[in-house]
A and B are shown apart, each in its own frame.
Chain A
Amino acid sequence: MLQYDLVVVGGGPAGMAAALQAHEDGVEKILVLERADTLGGILEQCIHTGFGLHYFGEELSGPEYAARFSDALYKTNIDVKVDTMVLDISAENVVTAVNNFDGILTVQAKAVVLAMGCRERPRGALSIAGSRPSGIMTAGTAQKYVNIDGYMPGKTVVILGSGDIGLIMARRMTLEGAKVKAVCELMPYSGGLTRNIVQCLEDFGIPLRLSCTVIQTHGKERLEGVTVANVDEHSQPIPGTEEYIPCDTLMLSVGLIPENELSKSAGVTLDPVTNGPVVDEYRETSKKGVFACGNVLQVHDLVDYVTEESKLAGAGAAKFIRNEKPAGGLVSTAGANGVRYVVPQRINRQTDRDVKLYFRVGKVMESVMLSVSCGDETLISRKKRKMAPGEMEYVTLKASDLAKLPEGAKLVVSTREA
Chain B
Amino acid sequence: MAEAIPHAQSHVHAVLEGPDINRALIRISHEILERTKGGEDVVLLGIPTRGVYLARRLAGHIRQFEGHPVPVGSLDITMYRDDLRTRPARPLGRTELPADGIDDKTVVLVDDVLYSGRTVRAALDALAALGRPRAVQLAALVDRGHRELPIRADYVGKNLPTSKSEIVKVYLEENDGRDAVLLLKEDEK
| A and B interact physically | no
